[in-house]
Amino acid sequence: MVSSRLARALSHTRSPSVSSSFTRPTRRRGRALTTMASPSLTVVESFTRVSRDIVRDRAASSASASTSSSTLTGCEYEIIRARRADGKGPRVFVVPGNPGCAAFYATFAKTLCDELDAVRVDVVGYLGHTEAERRGRSEWFSLDEQKTHVCEYIDRCCDDEGPEPVVVVGHSIGAHLALHAMSELGFDRVSGVVGLMPFLHVNTQSTLQSSLSFVTRLSVVVHALGRFLDALRFVAPGVRLALLKNTVTKSMDSAAADITSAWLRWQSLINMVFMGRTEFAQLTTPVSECALVRRGADNGRFVAVYAHDDHWAPFHQRDALAALDVGVFTVDDLSVKHDFVVNDAAAELVAKQTAKLAHRF
């Protein structure tokens, strides 16, 4: 499914050329959108592909538990790509926050590509967190598995492409994954990381976050809610749409609301919650002691952007980063929230700030 956010930006469509160097597509459910316009125009494309690498890794790690690789199917993920044919800037990889659906970042990617005059900006969707429905599939993926997925994608793209510098932009938990990728691949492969409202450590001062951590462990309740939403899609789609408009998508732009309506179902909800559960379990090291953060800070390769009233990226963690000499910046506009990508104006504003910081690398 191609979102209306993408359709508005483009005028012609054609099939994508998919490089087999980092993925082997066995079924293509998405399509690429592009335009045959002047070289200065930013082109936005959408891909749905199949990753075999994470399946291979899961099969290998589960061998001791007698898990057959035949039970692990290919896992689809989505890429949103903005590129400029004559771009002279860096290549950029954007790692989303959970729920990790790449389609939300189309406006952000396009604006960032324009501001940087970038060769390419790839938003790397998480495994299982797709806008298109994954029929008959029920794999759930942990934070570690998403780290492997993102790191492999960046690694292989770095091998296949030109010599331009590479910057990784991570939003929310994506900042943690971006720092992991830089640590794994090295500074000769990744020039720097920009963290947007970074979720780097569980906020022990937040009652809401404590409640959310508890909810992620209520598997029965989450499964029931997901099944209920799926049932409404078929039995009472109008009721489901009205329910979403009055709750989840109330403050979103229409394009983001459309993506949410397509994305929000049993499979994606469970994926989001399961990944969240592993996030809460792993992010227990304070930012001042985190090895990934300290390595980026010590080498001047990490900068971070914060928004007001954000329990995922609170100011006391911002101040801890500043004490490590990490460059930290705060968005003055109070309308910019943690989920800035669901509003085009906020997405464009944050993209422009991100571009200024990415130039540092």
CB 132 within 8 A of CB 80: no
Residue 171 to residue 126: CA distance in whole angstroms = 13
Percent of the chain with pLDDT over 70: 77
pLDDT for res 82: 92
Interval 59-86 mean pLDDT = 56
* Phi, psi angles (nearest 5°) of residue 333: -70, 115
What is the torsion angle, in degrees rounded to the nearest 10, for the CA atoms of residue 262, residue 126, residue 324 and residue 326? Answer: -70
What pLDDT band is residue 169 in, cutting at 50, 70 and 90?
very high
Q: Which two tokens stand for residue 189?
A: 């492969």
Residue 32 to residue 37: CA distance in whole angstroms = 15
Tell which wins on pLDDT, 229 or 172.
172
Measure Cα distances from 248 to 21, 241, 261, 311 in Å: 39, 10, 9, 18
Interval 159-164 mean pLDDT = 67
CB 10 within 8 A of CB 113: no
pLDDT for res 102: 92
* Strand, coil or helix: 302: strand
Residue 157 to residue 316: CA distance in whole angstroms = 36
| pTM of this structure | 0.80
CATH superfamily to which 4-200+285-358 belongs: Alpha/Beta hydrolase fold, catalytic domain (3.40.50.1820)
Residue 10 to residue 43: CA distance in whole angstroms = 8
pLDDT for res 355: 96
Percent of the chain with pLDDT over 90: 47
CB 167 within 8 A of CB 95: no
- Look over the chain and give the mean of its residue pLDDT values, rounded to a whole number: 79
pLDDT for res 107: 95
Residue 276 to residue 357: CA distance in whole angstroms = 28
pLDDT at 20 over 70: no
Lowest-confidence range among 8-12, 57-61, 125-129, 219-223? 8-12
Residue 222 to residue 211: CA distance in whole angstroms = 14
Q: Which two tokens stand for residue 273?
A: 């919650």
pLDDT for res 41: 65
Residue-wise pLDDT tens digits, 283-328: 999 999 999 999 999 999 999 999 999 999 999 999 999 999 999 9
Q: How many CB atoms lie within 10 A of CB 51?
A: 21
Domain ranges in the chain? 4-200+285-358
Residue-wise pLDDT tens digits, 77-132: 789 999 888 888 889 999 999 998 999 999 999 999 999 999 899 999 998 887 77
Best mean pLDDT range from 27-31, 140-144, 355-359: 355-359
Residue 241 to residue 258: CA distance in whole angstroms = 10
Sign of CA dihedral 207, 244, 137, 171: negative
Identity (one letter) of the amino acid at 218? L
